[in-house]
Structure 1
């Protein structure tokens, strides 16, 4: 199969780049399954397993898609009348925009929230990650937060509060002590270390020393790469029950879910987990080859003329209005 990827991010991924890393892993997985992958880009992309098709942004996309392409895979809003296509929706949709019936979401809840049903879990090429030491004895000393800390819905302040109450140090991956991007925020706490935007190697080294991911998001998380990456590194996840998170943290051996801060604090303090179980679950469930195989099934359905969603998905009247973590209901 000849597959054309259209995206609006930089490849190969630099630093964290969650969506970029998923697309990169998908292209590799498709190639390893003996499919031909092409990257639609304005600049040449150095990629051992995919070829670059240079496009001119001033011209219509349909005029630039080669005849030999079997399916077009958009990772941004788009469509084409020339070839069958699918669209992966990586985030939550604006409520005033309709959604294409061949949209693929990234979790079951993500799809349901938007009135659809087709989804493929994100996967990663775990060979690009540090292989974790699952027998370390010093994992009880600190936890980590992974995500765009400047974005309030990721709720880094909630993670800091939980760590402080649990009397454990916290590594923040993806944020800075002083943040001016979304209003003034300065975190003065010597028990919290801000690492900024880190590359994959640094991220893995920090997670390899961690007791767990503290992830009290206050929105409908579409997927949560921070969760699967942390699980792969052998760390459980302490999170709120929003969006995809109950799907990913499917049993109590993978972490703890609650929207009650004190319950999360208690779990961080007292619960113990098997790093090997967490690692094997992520390794076998959220790998790039499993993701690629699922996408191939979606491609084949669309090529055969079948819509991926049985009805035209409608955007939610509104996403669940999740307030700041401190304002969530407590029991």
Structure 2
């Protein structure tokens, strides 16, 4: 236990670990990356500072090509197999970018059984690894980022990066997604495969400059820094 006040950002944390900090480490000041995360921890009043992007480092894709993209680890909670199913129903190509977590046995099994059989290098492409600049380029040229999330994620940096390139996001209305995606402006929040297929057909109605503007107005690193400086000041002066 330390007497020095410590600010701790919960990018991801188990409920039991949070409870341990609360019980045994009184000088730790938790910060959540979304309001949904705070709710899931049972403390909706915990401070929240959203992750932020350097917009100058993210390319803008004004004219998309005819494919969908999903950047994520090959895990069931990321909805990889679901994205393949939805893209096929919509008749669209899908580019998957992300590693198979070989150190998690069930992740490899999931990939081998539910993802790999559909990867043909044409209608469904899988790129396990690529430099971030290449990933952003692929995302910026896609007509949509298809993310049928199956878990309650506390945030979604890849979702932010997609919208920052101008590429709208189609995702499930769960986890922190309603805090990140402006429904009908920067993407679509959906409830089912049927809704997702319908949303794919509506991607062309969205203004990609407004999609990018949604991020530049709310999720920049400058706003993130301001949020943390305010929290540090509050802790240092004892007002928090």
TM range, normalised to the smaller chain?
A: 0.7 to 0.9
Tell me if structure 1 keeps the 8 A contact 2:69–2:139: yes
Query: What displacement does 1:104 show?
Result: 0.2
Indicate which of 70, 73, 79 corresponds to 1:145.
70
Indicate which of 277, 280, 285 corresponds to 2:210.
277
1:124 match: secondary structure:
coil
- CA distance in structure 1 between the aligned counterparts of 2:5 and 2:103, rounded to whole angstroms: 44
1:86 match: secondary structure:
strand
Match in the other structure for 1:325: none
Task: State the Cα deviation string for residues 15-67 of structure 1 (Å, max 9, x = none).
Answer: xxxxxxxxxxxxxxxxxxxxxxxxxxxxxxxxxxxxxxxxxxxxxxxxxxxxx
Query: What displacement does 1:261 show?
Result: 0.7
**1:116-195 counterparts in 2 under 5 A?**
116=43, 117=45, 118-129=47-58, 131-134=59-62, 136=63, 139-149=64-74, 151-175=75-99, 181=105, 182-184=107-109, 185=112, 186-190=116-120, 191-195=123-127
Query: What displacement does 1:189 show?
Result: 3.4
2:225 match: secondary structure:
helix
1:290 match: secondary structure:
helix
Match in the other structure for 1:291: 224
Indicate which of 8, 11, 16 corresponds to 1:95.
16
Query: What displacement does 1:269 show?
Result: 2.3
Equivalent residues, number: 222
For the pair 1:114 / 2:41, whether they are aligned, the reply is: yes
More helix by share: 2
Query: What displacement does 1:271 show?
Result: 3.7
Match in the other structure for 1:80: 2
Indicate which of 181, 184, 190 corresponds to 1:249.
181
Tell me if structure 2 keeps the 8 A contact 1:175–1:194: no
Match in the other structure for 2:190: 258
- CA distance in structure 1 between the aligned counterparts of 2:152 and 2:78, rounded to whole angstroms: 10
Q: TM-score, normalised by structure 1?
A: 0.63
Change (3 A) 1:217 1:253: same
Query: What displacement does 1:245 show?
Result: 0.4
Give the greater-gyration-radius structure (CA): 1
Change (3 A) 1:205 1:85: same
**1:14-33 counterparts in 2 under 5 A?**
none
Query: What displacement does 1:235 show?
Result: 0.9
Q: TM-score, normalised by structure 2?
A: 0.85
Query: What displacement does 1:155 show?
Result: 1.4
Change (3 A) 1:286 1:97: closer
Match in the other structure for 1:222: 154
- CA distance in structure 1 between the aligned counterparts of 2:224 and 2:117, rounded to whole angstroms: 38
Change (3 A) 1:126 1:80: farther
RMSD: 2.1
- CA distance in structure 1 between the aligned counterparts of 2:96 and 2:103, rounded to whole angstroms: 13
